[in-house]
Amino acid sequence: MVGIIHLVRHGHHALLGHTLCGRMNGVTLDDIGCEEVARCATNVSPQSALIQSSPQRRCMQSASILAAHFGSAIEIVPALDELDYGEWTGRSFEELGRDPRWSRWNKRRGSTRPPGGESMRSLQNRVVGHLEQLRNDNSTGAVIAVSHAEPIRAALLHYARRRLDDFLSIEIDPSSISTLSADKGGFRITGINQRVPA
């Protein structure tokens, strides 16, 4: 059984905080992001035999840095992909701030969805389903799962038994580590948004 899963958010990129990237092509780590992930690797223990990644380039880059540190292979896992933001993908946060649908969605994440996109409930189901499959796997040790803020939030809200509407109560910074530890009863949260100082 997998005993520990480290949920790692990808590192910093140039569009962070300005553009809702979602599943945009070509979003890559900048120098800050590469340095952050390298520091993050030193804060992950125990040694991890498996590193999994969202298919997005910024996650795969982050996973590659971690894999080089641990001497591990990388597995690309669609269940760890970013939320599909539909029509909102690639829009600036300034532009989204003028859209009443954006405001409504951020108040009611559990019952609304981006136009043409994926609901938070669907996101949560796919991420938690994957984590539970890992927990019941026959392999042992720890797994690093490199993903995005929303999938990590969705998983943590599930294991904290909190509503999806409470998503803003959990901060997930770039290159942060949130940890799930398994016991006979399932996963419990043993760390949220842990960061390595610069």
In the chain, pLDDT over 90 holds for what percent of residues? Answer: 80
Where do the DSSP E strands lie in the chain?
A: 2-9, 48-53, 73-76, 141-147, 177-183, 186-194
CA distances 21 to 28, 70, 75, 83, 122, Å, are 11, 29, 22, 10, 19
Higher pLDDT, 42 or 94: 94
Q: Residue 5 — very low, low, confident or very high, per pLDDT cuts 50/70/90?
A: very high
The answer, yes or no, to whether residue 171 has pLDDT greater than 70, is: yes
Q: What is the pLDDT of residue 34?
A: 96
Q: Scanning the structure block, which residue is given the tokens 């409930």?
A: 121
Q: What is the pLDDT of residue 183?
A: 80
Q: What is the pLDDT of residue 3?
A: 85
pLDDT in tens, 96-134: 999 999 999 999 999 999 999 999 999 999 999 999 998
In the chain, pLDDT over 70 holds for what percent of residues? Answer: 94
Q: What is the pLDDT of residue 65?
A: 95
Mean of pLDDT over the chain: 92
32 and 175 in contact (C-beta within 8 Å)? no
The answer, yes or no, to whether residue 1 has pLDDT greater than 70, is: no
pLDDT in tens, 59-70: 999 999 999 998
Domain limits of the chain? 2-194
CATH architecture, domain 2-194:
3-Layer(aba) Sandwich (3.40)
